[in-house]
Amino acid sequence: MILANAFCLFFFLDETLRSLASPSSPQGPELQGWRPPVDCVRANELCAAESNCSSRYRTLRQCLAGRDRNTMLANKECQAALEVLQESPLYDCRCKRAMKKELQCLQIYWSIHLGLTEGEEFYEASPYEPVTSRLSDIFRLASIFSGTGADPVVSVKSNHCLDAAKACNLNENCKKLRSSYISICNREISPTERCNRRKCHKALRQFFDRVPSEYTYRMLFCSCQDQACAERRRQTILPSCSYEDKEKPNCLDLRSVCRTDHLCRSRLADFHANCRASYQTLTSCPADNYQACLGSYAGMIGFDMTPNYVDSSPTGIVVSPWCSCRGSGNLEEECEKFLRDFTENPCLRNAIQAFGNGTDVNLSPKSPTFQATQASRVEKTPSLPDDLSDSTSLGTSVITTCTSIQLTTNIIPGSNKVIKSNSGTYIACSSVVLTTAFILMLPLAL
């Protein structure tokens, strides 16, 4: 009898360890509706091949034309079309920055998502696929950066921004596209018009989209020890043409202009998604990813919302679009909040400094997971093993492989579930429940 009990317990523990070792995946009944996103051009092709999806998509586009959200949802035909499309690949589709059909992809994305929000949101979801690469990947590709591997004395005296320009000239593609935007942005049109800003912006977009980031980042985010270096860094995008103007427009007006263009709107949304200050991470960046923030910042250059360094100070890093909050009226608080996302953003500042120093956050590898809405900060709760007593009273010990360490309830043994924590949030776990009585019986059975 004792041997039989021991065998059962060993079998149970073996199954437990197997369930813990297997990676959690979105296979539970609560996640059956989740689909990996495809790009919106491909999603549009899939929808067009299905008559029901195709007709509903045409209906929804007609519903969104010239109507606000409430008017659209009051129409039963529009509601039905939306419900069908929510189950299609179009609803979850995303785009890749600088992809071949980027504008077409973004037009498809916004044709659905623009009419689904409650008015104009302060932060909009990014239409781009999440960035999985990190700064350390850029460092491995770059041959040199910011004095790493060099004599510290020489490194301090070096003008890293000048070194970055020289490195660009050694790469044929970088040299060609840099020379192109310098020529266009410096070309005076008339005594009253210093340059063709539209053509200058286009040339800058081509440079930052087509030249590898190990070159563009070094020019844009080089570290400086003196004012001459910092001024070269500020002049990287030829600000007299691409950035500055006679007067500074209101920031909210500038944002409204940006959001009338699908490309500008998407790059701004992507910047907020990847650079919005987070107080739940080590670096103040979402997912502690400096690379995602710097890429989103560089992606806004060449649009109405083009940001740049506000001065030539080598000690303080402050960037901003060319705008102010004058004339904001009763929207001044919203305007100041928008502007602070550039001028007082710890994530962006830390990311720029990290690249200039040649450092990145040392994080353990994370397997890609579906994106979920980030929960608000919750109070810490003690972990279960620290709370277990040596008494023989029946209790429950939960062994989980979760990305969260919060206490959980409603756990189904041996299953991959989305379960509800005592904080009210939902987390994905692979878990099993062992009773304290079983744990205590194991030595006796042996």
The phi and psi torsions of 429 (rounded to 5 degrees) equal: -140, 155
What's residue 166's pLDDT? 95
CB hemisphere CA count around 372 (13 angstroms): 14
Cross-strand bridge partners of residue 120: none
What's residue 392's pLDDT? 34
Quick one: how far is CA 219 from the chain centroid?
A: 22
Q: What does the mean pLDDT of the chain come to?
A: 75
What's residue 145's pLDDT? 43
What's residue 204's pLDDT? 98
What's residue 212's pLDDT? 94
The two structure tokens encoding residue 19: 């369930």
Instruction: Provide the whole-model pTM.
Output: 0.71
What's residue 361's pLDDT? 67
What's residue 360's pLDDT? 75
- 391, pLDDT greater than 50: no
Residue with tokens 């939902």: 426
Q: Which of 29-33, 113-117, 239-243 has the highest mean pLDDT?
A: 239-243
**Between 360 and 47, the higher pLDDT residue:** 47
State the Cα–Cα distance between residues 47 and 108, nearest whole angstrom: 12
- In the chain, the N- to C-terminal Cα span, in Å, equals 11
State the Cα–Cα distance between residues 156 and 133, nearest whole angstrom: 29
Is residue 420 within a helix (H) or strand (E), and if so which, with residue range? Answer: strand 415-420
The phi and psi torsions of 399 (rounded to 5 degrees) equal: -105, 120
